[in-house]
Amino acid sequence: MDVPRHWREQIKRYRLVGSKCKKCGKLSYPHRLVCPKCRSREYEEHQFIGRGKIISFTNINSPPKEHRYNLPYAVALVELMEGPVITAQITDARAEELEIGMEVEMVTRKIMEYNEDGIICYGYKFRPIVEYAHP
C-alpha cells in the first residue's frame, strides 16, 4: 500500500463505520454502496458500537511475514451487537482463554508493518471484555 492511500483510508481503521440502508434498515460492514437485502442505493453511514461476541475463532501459527511479530494470534468471526459479522484479530488474550460466545470489544492496535522502512499500520482488533468490580 502506498503512503497516500494509507492516510486516505486511515479513518476506516480506527472506527467501525458501515452503512445503513435508508429503504429497509439493513446494517452492513464494511460500507456498501448497494444494500445486500433490497438492492437499494440509498444509504447513510452507521457508526457501530464496537462490541459483540465471538461466534468462531482459529489460531494462526504461520502468518504472512508482516504479522510474525505477534505469533501465535487468534482470528475470530465477531457478531457485532447490531448484527453484522466481521473478521478480526483477537488481542489481549491467550488462545486457550477464548471461547465461543465470549463478549469482546473493539480496540485500536498495531496490525502490521509493511516493511522495515515502511508504514506501521494500526487498526481495529477485538479483546475480551473485562468487567471490573467497584469497591
pLDDT tens per residue, range 62-83:
777 666 666 788 999 999 999 9
Say what the pLDDT of residue 78 is. 97
Is 19 within 8 Å of 37 (Cβ atoms)?
Answer: no
pTM of the model: 0.79
Provide the pLDDT for residue 94: 81
| Ranges of each domain in the chain | 3-128
Three-state SS at 116: coil
Three-class SS of residue 24?
Answer: coil
CA distance 43 to 26: 9
